[in-house]
Amino acid sequence: MSDIKRTWDRLRDDEKRKAKEELIDFFQNERDEEIGVIAAEGILNFFLQSVGNKLYNKGVEDAKKAIESRYDELRYDLDDLLDI
């Protein structure tokens, strides 16, 4: 496999392998369809390309909000320590 990562492909190789296995299992168990590794990789790539960046950006936005919230709490805690 190529070491070149697409901008929407942010999964490690082991994560991609696990996701493909889960897709194969899902199709077998939920849809009673048998798909192979190539089909699973195509489906995974489609979803990564169509929503991967949106999910990544949402995660970054959530992390920023959490950090900003914690920063505000720390500022208030430090203000309480001031000897006024």
pLDDT for position 18:
97
> What is the structure's pLDDT at 14?
95
Give every CB contact of residue 13 below 8 A, 6+ residues apart in sequence. Answer: 1
Where are the domains positioned within the chain?
13-81
Residue 7's pLDDT is: 65
CA dihedral 18, 19, 25, 26 (to 10 degrees): 160
Would the pTM of this model clear 0.85, i.e. be above it?
no
Phi and psi (nearest 5°) for 33?
Answer: -120, 145
What confidence score (pLDDT) does residue 10 get?
78
Residue by residue, pLDDT tens for the chain (84 residues) are 456 656 667 789 999 999 999 999 999 999 999 999 999 999 999 999 999 889 989 999 999 999 999 999 999 999 989 876
